């Protein structure tokens, strides 16, 4: 026990909630734990902080070690510090989340993981530690972000069709979206660039591909704001 301090310290770890979209449903990436505690349980990839890395670097490192993913754009989600999170003792975990193109990622189990696998968000296995709480927090945050930011392009390919985008929104928000109104709304933002290519081999009218205009997005993010509750659903306003 070579590391000694004047006061007790919790261990610090990072965990990653990685969202992917397969064209039909929203998934998260889980690993099966190779070691105790919770051996054999599924959990989010993560591990202990080392002294020469930030919490985000730790998340990125553990993600690569356990799943092979290297280029996810991580965003800090929340820090969990419950007293009984981990049977080994006090562990404070900084959770991160990321949206990735599921198709471009082939998760490979490594290190502490028996296997890495995608699970649909509405049928997860029993999770280790307090990862169920982490998952619910991530889901909530993801939905919030979808409400007021036209994000989610990280979840699709470099190019995508509007119908795909609608399905993504419907999956995440778990509610029906009017295609036609949605198209207009999203196109009016000017964030999508129309490409020449179309889908092919489909037994119906082919869809056009679009690309996300990241530079315009950054520009807009700086300026747009202030609307004070964007709009109140009529049904609620009446009450």
Give least dist CB 10 to a copy of itself, A: 6
**DSSP-derived pairing of the beta strands 26-33 and 11-21:** antiparallel
Using DSSP's 3-state secondary structure scheme, residue 213 falls into: coil
Q: Which is nearer to DNA, 133 or 207 (CB)?
A: 207
Residue closer to a copy of itself by CB (options 3, 203) is 3
Task: Calculate the alpha carbon distances from 64 to 16, 57, 67, 135, 161 in Å.
Answer: 11, 11, 5, 20, 30
Nearest 10 degrees: Cα torsion 228, 172, 219, 103: 170
Separation between Cα atoms, residue 67 and residue 29, nearest integer Å: 9
Residues that bind DNA (CB under 7 A): 161-163, 178-181, 183-185, 188, 198, 200-208, 227, 230-234, 237
- Which of a copy of itself, DNA, none binds 92 (CB below 5-8 Å, type-dependent)? a copy of itself
Cβ closer to DNA: 70 or 227? 227
Neighbouring C-beta atoms of residue 186, cutoff 10 Å:
17
171-175: Cβ within 8 A, 24+ apart = 171/21, 171/24, 171/25, 171/26, 172/26, 172/142, 172/143, 172/146, 173/143, 173/146
- Interface residues with a copy of itself (CB under 8 A) are 1-12, 48-49, 51-56, 76, 78-79, 81-83, 90, 92, 94, 143-144, 146-150, 169, 173, 175, 182, 185-186, 188-190, 219-220, 223-233, 236-237, 239
Residue 169 Cβ vs a copy of itself, minimum distance, rounded to whole Å: 8
Smaller CB distance to a copy of itself: residue 1 or 202? 1
| Shortest Å distance, C-beta 189 to DNA | 10
Binding partner of residue 207 among DNA, a copy of itself, none, CB under 5 to 8 Å per kind? DNA
């Amino acid at each position: 026990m070579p590391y000694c301090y004047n006061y007790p310290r919790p261990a610090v770890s990072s965990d990653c909630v990685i969202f992917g979209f397969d064209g039909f449903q929203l998934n998260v990436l889980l690993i099966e734990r190779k070691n105790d505690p919770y051996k054999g349980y599924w959990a989010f990839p993560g591990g202990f902080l080392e002294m020469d890395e930030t919490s985000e670097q730790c998340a990125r490192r553990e993600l690569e070690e356990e799943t092979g993913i290297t280029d996810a754009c991580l965003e800090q989600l929340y820090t969990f510090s419950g007293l009984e999170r981990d049977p080994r003792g006090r562990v404070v975990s900084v959770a991160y989340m990321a949206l990735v193109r599921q198709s471009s990622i082939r998760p490979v189990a490594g290190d502490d993981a028996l296997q890495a696998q995608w699970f649909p968000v509405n049928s997860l296995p029993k999770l280790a530690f307090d990862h169920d709480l982490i998952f619910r927090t991530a889901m909530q945050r993801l939905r919030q972000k979808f409400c007021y930011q036209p994000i989610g392009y990280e979840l699709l390919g470099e190019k995508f069709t509007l119908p795909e985008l609608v399905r993504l929104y419907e999956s995440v928000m778990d509610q029906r979206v009017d295609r036609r109104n949605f198209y207009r709304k999203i196109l009016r933002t000017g964030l999508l660039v129309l490409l020449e290519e179309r889908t092919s081999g489909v037994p119906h009218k082919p869809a056009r591909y679009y690309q996300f205009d990241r530079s315009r997005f950054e520009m807009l993010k700086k300026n747009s704001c202030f609307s004070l509750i964007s709009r109140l659903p009529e049904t609620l306003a009446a009450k």
